[in-house]
Amino acid sequence: MPLYKSIAVNSQTSVKIWRIDESYDDLVKPLELKPESRARVDDMKSSIHQLGFLSVRHLLREFGYTDVDLYYDENGKPHLKDGKQISITHSFSFSAVIVSDLVVGIDIEKQRDKIKIVSPKFIGYESQYLKEDSDLTKKLTVIWCIKESLFKLFATPGLSFKMNTLVIPFMLEDEFTNAWIDYKKIKLRYDVSFLEFEGFTCAYVVS
């Protein structure tokens, strides 16, 4: 069973990361999926997305939940029927779930150089401390993961990664920084954790 890593963030919050080594058949066989979930995964044209979807259901089982316990609101934000907070992510060969009594967000991304090309779309304040160096791809990936996690946590349509979120300068080895949401008259500060593994970056935010 490729449960890759479990992180006890605090007494109320846990992160679990799955490495996707299995085939579609191996992943789907032990699962009990709602009819709408089975239809959704069968309609996916990408095998990567199918495996990500199914691996997330295995992570739910690691937390003691099933597919029936998970539902999505009108904005696509996942929820658990028992009222606990959840955030979900997957990228290529990894997926992750964070569950907490607090509002949370999580994101995983593969580290790829092409992020430098798209960075002007999500980098604002951060351009003041980013430099063209050997760590740029990794730092940009951390920032993207943090901003995506904030977006999932805040769950407010219209939030701009570039204009409404900012990440305080950080060192990769620290695996920790602070980030802000500055949206209309709302200003919120968050502690952020991140980690790197096998060419991937994961970040998570707890409110």
Query: Would residue 207 count as lying in a domain?
Result: no
Residue 77 contacts by C-beta under 8 Å, 6 or more apart in sequence?
Answer: 152, 155
Q: Which residues pair with 206 in a beta bridge?
A: 104
**Assigned domain for 201 exists:** no
Looking at the structure, do residues 185 and 133 belong to the same domain, yes or no?
yes
Q: Which of 45, 73, 102 is the last residue of a domain?
A: 102
| Residue 32 shares a structural domain with residue 58 | yes
Do both 98 and 141 map to the same domain? no
Residue showing tokens 């709602």: 34
CB 176, CB 170: distance < 8 Å = yes
Measure the CA–CA gap between 89 and 108, rounded to whole angstroms.
Answer: 6
Angle at 79 between CA 40 and CA 152, to 5 degrees: 90
CA angle centred on 104, ends 103 and 109, rounded to 5°:
165
Where is the domain boundary, 102, 126, 144?
102
* Chain centre to alpha carbon of residue 6: 15
Note down the domain range covering 131: 109-196
Evaluate whether residue 64 is within a structural domain: yes
In-domain check, residue 74: yes
* Residue 123 resides in a domain: yes
Domain with 95 in it: what CATH number? 3.90.470.20
Instruction: Give pLDDT tens digits for 111-120.
Output: 999 999 999 9
> Rounded to two decimals, what is the model's pTM?
0.94
| Number of other CB atoms surrounding residue 81 within 10 Å | 10
Give the chain's domain count. 2
Here the tokens at position 119 are 């960075």
**Cβ–Cβ under 8 Å, residues 138 and 52:** no
Whether residues 48 and 139 share a domain: the answer is no
**Pair (26, 98) in one structural domain:** yes
Domain boundary among 57, 78, 102: 102
pLDDT digits (tens, 9 = 90+) for 42-75: 999 899 999 999 999 999 999 999 999 999 988 8
Same domain for 14 and 55, yes or no, is: yes
- Indicate whether 95 and 174 sit together in one domain: no
Q: Which two tokens stand for residue 20?
A: 């996707």
> What's the pLDDT band for 134 if we cut at 50, 70, 90?
confident
**Chain-wide mean pLDDT for the chain?**
94
Contact 157, 128 (CB under 8 A): no
Q: Which of 94, 97, 100, 101 has the alpha carbon at shortest distance from 51?
A: 94
Q: Which of 39-43, 94-98, 154-158 has the highest mean pLDDT?
A: 94-98
Shared domain for 156 and 90, answered yes or no, is no
CA distance 184 to 145: 22
Residues 145 and 93 both lie in one domain: no
- What number of CA atoms fall less than 13 Å from residue 121's CA on the CB side? 7
Is position 87 within any domain? yes
Same domain, 61 and 140: no
φ/ψ of residue 123, rounded to 5: -100, 125
Residues 147 and 88 in one domain: no
Candidates 5, 6, 62; CA nearest to 31 is: 62
88 shares its domain with 35 = yes
Q: Is residue 152 part of a domain?
A: yes
